[in-house]
Structure 1
């Protein structure tokens, strides 16, 4: 089960977080990042979200992209496109083109 933007979404184990969010009309991108993004290959970093719950380990693409500005590798964010849902999960989206801001857009 996945909770995001006030919605409870039932999904199968191993589903890609970005894909399941988009399929349920929850946009993991802010502003123009909705149009200008890498479409899930992990290079743009615009789908960064805060995730609580059981998800896959951080892969090298996620780690590499979030190590570059404007991201801060010490922040506990994940790229939705590089994350698989493995159990119950709550997701929060922060402001900023890359989701790197401090104000919560949705949770």
Structure 2
């Protein structure tokens, strides 16, 4: 029984120490299409940077843990957005786009107006 408990504790400890998996672009092509990405272990958070044309994205890992967030802004002179996330391969698909955040903001404002 003691051996089974020790093995269980060891397995949980090993699982807890695993790295987060992020999609990353190849080193020679830092901005790439999703099919050109690779899965990489990350000790921090995953990031996806995208411009409004959505053709190619910059996907990488940052070494520090950051909270999940998406923000829009100007990236290299182009309007775009970036998202930081903390689940396996979370930077692989479409993120919350600024128009979605805009619609959510309007809906919250309308709901707040109805409650006042």
Please indicate the TM-score interval, normalised by the length of the shorter structure.
under 0.3
Give the structure-2-normalised TM-score: 0.24
Greater helix share, 1 or 2?
2
Return the index of the structure with the highest Cα Rg: 2
Give the structure-1-normalised TM-score: 0.25
